[in-house]
Amino acid sequence: MKKIEHVGIAVHDLEASNTLFKKLLGVSHYKIEEVSSEGVRTSFFKSGPNKIELLEATSPESPIAKFLEKKGEGIHHVAFAVDDLEAEIARLTKEGFTVLNQTPKKGADNKLVAFLHPISTNGVLIELCQEAPSPPVEWGME
Ligand SMILES: CC[C@@H](C(=O)O)C(=O)SCCNC(=O)CCNC(=O)[C@H](O)C(C)(C)COP(=O)(O)OP(=O)(O)OC[C@H]1O[C@@H](n2cnc3c(N)ncnc32)[C@H](O)[C@@H]1OP(=O)(O)O
Ligand SMILES: [Co+2]
């Protein structure tokens, strides 16, 4: 694993939290993105070398909705950058971690992601993320 890629924070109200984090960090979010497959709307902040992801639930089945109900707002996950997600999934599975998705799935901010169940990581949900490969050049030429 290369570095912490982002820290994910579950929030009830993305707009209100964007205002709060702007005051806190002194910078505005640089993007808002919805990832419907995860049932979330996210915003991203950069603070020096660090990245914060705020997550609001878009449906009651969303992992964020469940988390907010049980634990309230707060740190939801820590994401690590990896070069080869499939290799890391295989390595960590072999090491006995509970990898929630054996196949990389679409994340936000142009990433492929996988999650480790907090039951196997001292109660902390871990995300692994790899920069998604660029689409072939010809896609942009039509
Ligand atoms: C925007 C895309 C992406 C990115 O690019 O960055 C994201 O970050 S998406 C983030 C949202 N998606 C996910 O979290 C996907 C992975 N999570 C899951 O699959 C589930 O949340 C889970 C971890 C498997 C838990 O689901 P489930 O078992 O259905 O929920 P429960 O509410 O029953 O919880 C069981 C147990 O686990 C504890 N828990 C749940 N979430 C967390 C958490 N984030 N951190 C620590 N612990 C967590 C929960 O409290 C329960 O514990 P007990 O109460 O002790 O049983
Ligand atoms: Co994340």
- Nearest residue by C-alpha to atom 44 in ligand 1: 76
Q: Is the distance from the beta carbon of residue 70 to the nearest atom of ligand 1 less than 6 Å?
A: yes
d(CA 56, CA 64): 7
What does each of the 142 residues of the chain score in pLDDT, given as a tens digit?
Answer: 889 999 999 999 999 999 999 999 999 999 999 999 999 999 999 999 999 999 999 999 999 999 999 999 999 999 999 999 999 999 999 999 999 999 999 999 999 999 999 999 999 999 999 999 876 555 544 4
How far apart CA 29 and CA 39 sit, in angstroms, is 20
DSSP 101: -
- CA 5 – CA 138 distance, rounded (Å): 30
This prediction has a pTM of 0.95
Q: Is the CB of 72 under 6 A from ligand 1?
A: no
Q: What is the DSSP letter of 30?
A: S
CA angle 109-112-118, nearest 5°? 100
Q: Which of 125, 126, 127, 131 to mutate to test the pocket of ligand 1 (most atoms within 8 A of CB)?
A: 125
d(C-alpha 36, C-alpha 40), whole Å: 6
